[in-house]
Amino acid sequence: MLRIFLLLIFALSFSNSTKSHAEELTSQRQAALIHMLKHDCGSCHGLTMKGGLGPPLTPDALAGKDMDILSDTVFYGLPERAMPPWEGMLSREEIVWLIKQLKKGIPQ
């Protein structure tokens, strides 16, 4: 019985890992996203993400901030506060990936 249970867990974790692998962004898309981050997001948040019209998006500034709230901000924007929505241009998955890069610190 236990063996069947363990097998099931193994099968489930295996199918999950192959799924997330298939959803990974291609390195080409990742490079395009980093370029966009510096040039489009950077026009307000600063080329080095240290802030400008928009607040800094450095690892320090984002430390402890909730991923869901941050990704909602990028997805829907804050129209009354000059942060444009990126819905339609970026997928949820791409936004989460970008925020993870920002939290780690993007290479300059």
The residue ranges that bind ligand HEC (CB under 6 A) are 40-41, 43-45, 53-55, 57, 61, 65, 70, 73-74, 78, 81-84, 86, 98
Closest separation in Å from C-beta 24 to ligand HEC? 19
Q: Please say which residue, 59 or 84, places its beta carbon nearer to ligand HEC.
A: 84
Closest separation in Å from C-beta 80 to ligand HEC? 8
φ/ψ region of 81 (left if φ > 0, alpha if ψ in -120 to 50, else beta) reads alpha
Closest separation in Å from C-beta 27 to ligand HEC? 19
**Cβ neighbours, 10 Å, residue 103:** 19
Q: Please say which residue, 32 or 82, places its beta carbon nearer to ligand HEC.
A: 82
How many angstroms separate the CA atoms of 15 and 12, rounded?
5
Q: Angle formed by the axes of helices 92-104 and 67-76, to 10°?
A: 120
Closest separation in Å from C-beta 75 to ligand HEC? 10
How many angstroms separate the CA atoms of 92 and 50, rounded?
24
